Amino acid sequence: MNLVVDIGNTRVKYAVFDKKKLVIDQHSDSGLFLTMVRDLFEVYPKITHAIISSVGGHPKKEYEVLSLFCKVHLLSHESKIPFKNSYINPQTLGIDRIALATRAFYENPKGNTLVIDMGTCITYEMMNDYGEYLGGAISPGMNMRFKAMNDQTAQLPLLKVEPILDFIGNSTEKSMQSGVVNGICQELDGVINQYKDRFKFLTVILTGGDAQFFAKRLKNSIFANSKFLLEGLNYLLEYNKN
């Protein structure tokens, strides 16, 4: 069995895999890492390998703790990948984006795939039908947009997302909600259409924390999979075992 640990900007995610099958996934604050790991190994003693992915650099403490329990692979730019990476400077490519590209490669190895991750930032990852990662785009995520309006103005409040009934907001709060929610929907549909114009038979995967909120609001046909990143990390662990 494998343990996947994804250390993100706001929380730590844990996922246990039996080969390719996701058995369980959980999350916690970073301060509970040791407790979470200890509990997982008590419930799943057959875990033999783990992978750590961290967007914030080398997670020395977490690596040392996890190494007490099993063999650990720390995902980095030195890790082996199963696809051709055409990013101009591969060393600057976020490791979370590497994991998404890996999952896209295995999801559709002979097809064109666009992965959109709705997290702290919205990232777009393009894998073509030659098994080549081309790159993509990065834009502010939903909560980042709400926070920016509050931080950089004197009057606008800090809001949390709510469904909008009309794209024309008749109050400040509803106008902000429309600006963020409708703006992201228009961005997503517009970007997807750009890729569809260039790549035939494009498969679009929507993932990340805000994926379910936006999946039903898009005009384009997409596949929603909130576990896409975790699955990509598990594939990378398997690929790097030997």
Whichever domain contains 221, its CATH number is: 3.30.420.40
Single residue among 21, 42, 74 that ends a domain in this structure: 74
Is residue 199 in a domain? yes
Per-residue pLDDT of the chain (242 residues; tens, 9 = 90+): 999 999 986 789 999 999 999 999 999 987 888 999 999 999 999 999 999 999 877 788 899 999 999 999 999 999 999 999 999 999 999 999 999 999 999 999 999 999 999 998 999 999 999 999 999 999 999 999 999 999 999 999 999 999 898 999 999 999 999 999 999 999 999 999 999 999 999 999 999 989 999 999 999 989 999 999 999 999 999 999 97
pLDDT of residue 8: 80
96 plus 56 within the same structural domain: no
Tell me, yes or no, whether 206 and 90 share the same domain.
yes
Q: What is d(CA 37, CA 58) in angstroms, rounded to the nearest whole number?
A: 18
> Residue 2, annotated ligand binder?
no
Same structural domain, 69 and 149: no
According to the model, what pLDDT value does residue 31 have?
83
Number of domain units in the chain: 2
Residue 7 forms part of a structural domain? yes
pLDDT, position 11: 86
Which segments of 108-242 does DSSP mark as H helices, in order?
142-151, 172-198, 211-215, 228-240
Does residue 120 have a known ligand-binding role?
yes
Q: Is 143 annotated as a binding residue?
A: no
Calpha distance 14→36 (Å, rounded)? 8
Residue 197, marked binder: no
User: Is 119 contained in some domain?
Assistant: yes
Q: Which residues are catalytic, by number?
A: 96
Report the alpha-carbon distance of residue 38 to residue 106 in Å, rounded: 31
Question: Does 238 reside within a domain?
Answer: no
Classify residue 113: in a domain, yes or no. yes
> Are the C-beta atoms of 31 and 7 separated by less than 8 Å?
no
pLDDT of residue 45: 96
Specify the pTM.
0.92
Same domain, 127 and 176: yes
Query: Looking at the domain assignment, is residue 170 inside a domain?
Result: yes
The predicted structure's pLDDT at residue 60: 86
pLDDT at 58: 76
Residues 124 and 226 placed together within one structural domain of the fold: yes
